[in-house]
Amino acid sequence: MIKAAITGTGLYTPPQSISNDELVACYNAYVEKKNAERAEAIAAGSAEALQPSSSEFIVKASGIKARYVVDKSGVLDVDIMRPRIATRGNDEPSLLAEMGVSAARQALERAGRTAADIDFVIAACSNMPRPYPALAVEIQNLLGIQGYAYDMNVACASAAFGIQAAVDAVRLGNARAALVVNPEVCSGHLNWRNRDCHFIFGDAATAVVVEPLDGAVSQDKFEVLGTRLQTQFSSNIRNNFGFLNECEITPRPWDDVLFRQEGRKVFKEVVPMVSDLLGAHLASLGIEPADVRRFFLHQANLNMNELIARKVLGRDPSVEEAPVILDEYANTSSAGSVIAFHKHHADLAPGDVAVLCAFGAGYSAGSVVMKRV
Ligand code: COA
């Protein structure tokens, strides 16, 4: 069997960032406006007053301090509260494709590869710009890659699922090299008017090159020792946006086609699912958790990541062992664990073992165990 390696990663970060204070100021202006509009009903007890958000709560509950977005002005306009994105024609690249291409070019450069070396592209992310043609085929075309491409949506766990598909293709000789791209405009499916979750998402794109270890020219390579995936159905993180929305006899409320979650339940149910998966995966490879130098965990909630790492290690993780990027990026869905890897792997030495672990809606979870070469 051919040994597969991750030989390059790339990251696209949108230029605009929103701090918690800026976000909360907008949300609270919305609350004041709505409460004023419904003052009579609130006074009569037939409507409930909306409660303000707070930066202190956000940091304490999630660890998030800021998020990058593709359009700050729309999100922070109290009359809009969503990104405003220019409509593009069919002959123009989609926004997600452009972001993905930017991350992909960096990953290729870092791997010392060009488009001519790749023959498999996967767009693995939470939301596609349209059902078809596939985003991955669009990215393939923009990069000038031959071969094949397809989309894969396993929500926040998409990166791990995409890497497994790429590793399998390389190991079996079905692809000389593969590119996994994770473009996310989470700001487009977040309900910025929902106090429970208005702070949790941000936008970014990542990319990963997977190729045979033998012959890889990158100085920065990680042999993939194993991958493991798991899914378990739950509606606790759900988005009902879909192609049948317009056909449904009873129209859905506007906020039913955006992201929603039961955050507490997700926290409680996903932590054991992920820590069990990681423990079992490492055991199957004969690796002690204590021998893992770094965990690149999905970046949704700091408390959740600390708890997962604590369950796996049997003690609190250090910041070096479980690096954090969600303070700056918030939850960027499929891109989060790859951003952590991209930004925090340079100091790992040959022989160091690291784990990339992504998890989210579905529920879905995946781990990629790798060794620096
Ligand atoms: N500002 C101030 N207070 C807020 C608030 C806000 N923006 N949002 C909620 N609150 C209040 C609630 O009303 C509640 O008040 P109460 O105790 O008086 O009823 C209290 O804060 C706790 O709310 P809760 O929703 O239970 O908070 P939490 O500690 O569970 O944190 C999340 C919320 C979303 C940060 C957290 O549940 C989470 O991250 N879960 C995991 C989600 C996840 O990983 N999802 C994956 C997505 S891919």
CATH code of the domain covering residue 343: 3.40.47.10
Closest CA to 341 of 358, 317, 328: 358
Residue nearest to ligand 1 atom 40, measured at CA: 263
Task: Determine the distance separating the centroid of ligand 1 and the alpha carbon of 61, expressed in angstroms.
Answer: 6
**To which residue do tokens 């405009």 refer?**
185
- Tell me what the mean pLDDT of segment 128-146 comes to: 97
Is 44 a residue whose pLDDT tops 90? yes
Torsion, CA 199, CA 200, CA 206, CA 212, rounded to 10: 170
Residue nearest to ligand 1 atom 10, measured at CA: 196
Q: Which amino acid is at 27?
A: Y
Give, for ligand 1, the residue of 62, 201, 271 to mutate: max count of ligand atoms closer than 8 Å to Cβ.
62
Alpha-carbon distance 372 to 186, whole Å? 31
Hey, which residues does 120 pair with through a beta bridge?
A: 148, 178
Cβ–ligand 1 contact at 63 (below 6 Å): no
202 within a domain of the structure (yes/no): no
Alpha-carbon distance 136 to 140, whole Å? 6
215 within a domain of the structure (yes/no): no
Six-digit token string for 176: 């000389």
Cβ–ligand 1 contact at 267 (below 6 Å): yes
Predicted confidence band at 201 (pLDDT cuts at 50, 70, 90)? very high
Give the mean pLDDT of the chain: 97
Task: Determine the distance separating the centroid of ligand 1 and the alpha carbon of 200, expressed in angstroms.
Answer: 10
Alpha-carbon distance 324 to 265, whole Å? 23
DSSP reduced 3-state for 208: strand
- Quote the domain boundaries for residue 347: 222-372
What pLDDT, on the 0 to 100 scale, is given for residue 1?
Answer: 86
- Tell me what the mean pLDDT of segment 352-370 comes to: 98
58 within a domain of the structure (yes/no): no
162 within a domain of the structure (yes/no): no
- Tell me what the mean pLDDT of segment 244-262 comes to: 95
Q: Which amino acid is at 54?
A: S
What percentage of the chain exceeds 70 in pLDDT? 100
pLDDT digits (tens, 9 = 90+) for 256-299: 999 999 999 999 999 999 999 999 999 999 999 999 999 999 99
Alpha-carbon distance 136 to 127, whole Å? 12
Alpha-carbon distance 231 to 337, whole Å? 18
Six-digit token string for 213: 């270890």
- Tell me what the mean pLDDT of segment 350-366 comes to: 98
H helices within the chain, ranges in order?
A: 20-37, 39-44, 55-62, 72-75, 95-111, 135-143, 158-171, 263-284, 302-313, 326-329, 336-343
Hey, which residues does 124 pair with through a beta bridge?
A: 152
Inter-CA distances, 127 with 84, 141, 216, 240, 338, Å: 17, 20, 32, 12, 17
Predicted confidence band at 229 (pLDDT cuts at 50, 70, 90)? very high
Question: Is 235 buried (19+), middle (13-18) or exposed (0-12) by CB count in 10 A?
Answer: exposed
Give, for ligand 1, the residue of 26, 56, 261 to mutate: max count of ligand atoms closer than 8 Å to Cβ.
261
256 within a domain of the structure (yes/no): yes
Residue nearest to ligand 1 atom 39, measured at CA: 301
Task: Determine the distance separating the centroid of ligand 1 and the alpha carbon of 40, expressed in angstroms.
Answer: 29
Q: Which residues are marked as active site?
A: 156
22 within a domain of the structure (yes/no): no
Omega of the bond prior to 133 within 30 degrees of 0, cis?
A: yes
- Tell me what the mean pLDDT of segment 335-356 comes to: 98
pLDDT digits (tens, 9 = 90+) for 162-183: 999 999 999 999 999 999 999 9
Give, for ligand 1, the residue of 27, 50, 51 to mutate: max count of ligand atoms closer than 8 Å to Cβ.
51
4 within a domain of the structure (yes/no): no
Task: Determine the distance separating the centroid of ligand 1 and the alpha carbon of 249, expressed in angstroms.
Answer: 33
- Tell me what the mean pLDDT of segment 299-321 comes to: 95
What pLDDT, on the 0 to 100 scale, is given for residue 71?
Answer: 98
319 within a domain of the structure (yes/no): yes
How many distinct structural domains can be found in the chain? 1
Angle of CA points 72, 57, 32, to nearest 5°? 60
Taking a C-beta distance cutoff of 8 angstroms, is the pair 159, 300 a contact? no
Residue nearest to ligand 1 atom 31, measured at CA: 61
For residue 263, the ligand 1 atom closest to its alpha carbon is 37
Predicted confidence band at 321 (pLDDT cuts at 50, 70, 90)? very high
